[in-house]
Amino acid sequence: DVKVTQSSRYLVKRTGEKVFLECVQDMDHENMFWYRQDPGLGLRLIYFSYDVKMKEKGDIPEGYSVSREKKERFSLILESASTNQTSMYLCATYRGQGARWRGGTEAFFGQGTRLTVV
Amino acid sequence: AQRVTQPEKLLSVFKGAPVELKCNYSYSGSPELFWYVQYSRQRLQLLLRHISRESIKGFTADLNKGETSFHLKKPFAQEEDSAMYYCALSGTLTGKLIFGQGTTLQVKP
């Protein structure tokens, strides 16, 4: 069983704080993703990484950065949290081929982190 | 542009009724289409993928390249099918998995 673990289920942070969301996977998958999930907007891709120290911007990277120092860990960083970053954040992982999609593969998701910025 | 559109936010049906969740996509290359499902208080998980041509929990989906659609169907809905359903796309042009807006399926007793 693939395990994708996000460090926190619920977080409450103040405006302006620096926030770290951690994701760890135990299946040696190359590709890791961070999405935010909002009602009516679906899952929107923030950043993804297809190798250690590699990262690419997704569709909504503004206000976020990421770090991938080890293959199993992918961190999402909110440099200065704002109220419009209140959301559910989902980490996902799957076996890839560098920057290319590996046909037929399945993505595995963490349980999500509900972040509230006050 | 690569895009997935799910036109319905909410689909409400009675138990035993047929279900069709719509998904349309825009993609220039060879797409791979998926349906993911999120049951209450559970993590998002794969339901089915078009390349497998499988039926999972009674659900099927056919890729129609002419209409660029990948609608999810089930002939007789069950209460346990109530969940959020996401259509997703990837393929040869990208390493990303792109999701639609999601449709909440509510099956009433």
Residue pLDDT, tens place only, A4-44:
999 999 999 999 999 999 999 998 888 899 999 999 899 99
Give the count of beta carbons closer than 10 Å to the beta carbon of residue B9. 11
Residue B73: HSE in the Cβ half-sphere, 13 Å Cα cutoff: 11
- Say if the Cβ atoms of B96 and A58 lie within 8 Å: yes
Best probe of the A interface among B101, B103, B104, by most A CBs < 10 A, is: B101
Identity of the residue in A99, A101, A112 whose CB atom sits nearest the CB atom of B91: A101
pLDDT at B50: 83
Q: Are A113 and A6 spatial neighbours (Cβ–Cβ below 8 Å)? A: yes
- B70-100 pLDDT, tens per residue? 999 999 999 999 999 999 998 766 678 899 9
Between A51 and B35, name the one with better pLDDT. Answer: B35
- Say if the Cβ atoms of B96 and A104 lie within 8 Å: no
- A47-104 pLDDT, tens per residue? 999 889 889 999 999 999 999 999 999 999 999 999 999 999 999 998 876 666 666 6
- Say if the Cβ atoms of B51 and A104 lie within 8 Å: yes
Chain position carrying tokens 């349980």: A111
Which residues of chain A make contact with B95, given a CB cutoff of 8 A?
A: 31, 48, 50, 56, 96-101
Chain position carrying tokens 């994701």: A23
pLDDT band at B58 (very low <50, low <70, confident <90, very high): very high
Which residues of chain A make contact with B51, given a CB cutoff of 8 A?
A: 103-104
Identity of the residue in B6, B95, B98 whose CB atom sits nearest the CB atom of A96: B95
Closest chain B residue by Cα to residue A4: B43
In the numeric block, which tokens belong to residue B53? 């041509």
Chain position carrying tokens 């969301």: A21
Chains A–B, number of C-beta pairs less than 8 Å apart: 62
* Lowest-confidence pick of A71-80, B8-17, B58-67: B58-67
pLDDT band at B28 (very low <50, low <70, confident <90, very high): confident
Give the count of beta carbons closer than 10 Å to the beta carbon of residue A57. 14
Closest chain B residue by Cα to residue A113: B43
Give, in degrees to the nearest 5, the angle at Cα A37 between A33 and A39: 160
Rounded to the nearest integer, the mean pLDDT of chain B is 92
- Say if the Cβ atoms of A43 and B99 lie within 8 Å: yes
Which residues of chain A make contact with B100, given a CB cutoff of 8 A?
A: 42
Q: What is the mean pLDDT of residues B11-31?
A: 93
Best probe of the B interface among A101, A111, A114, by most B CBs < 10 A, is: A101
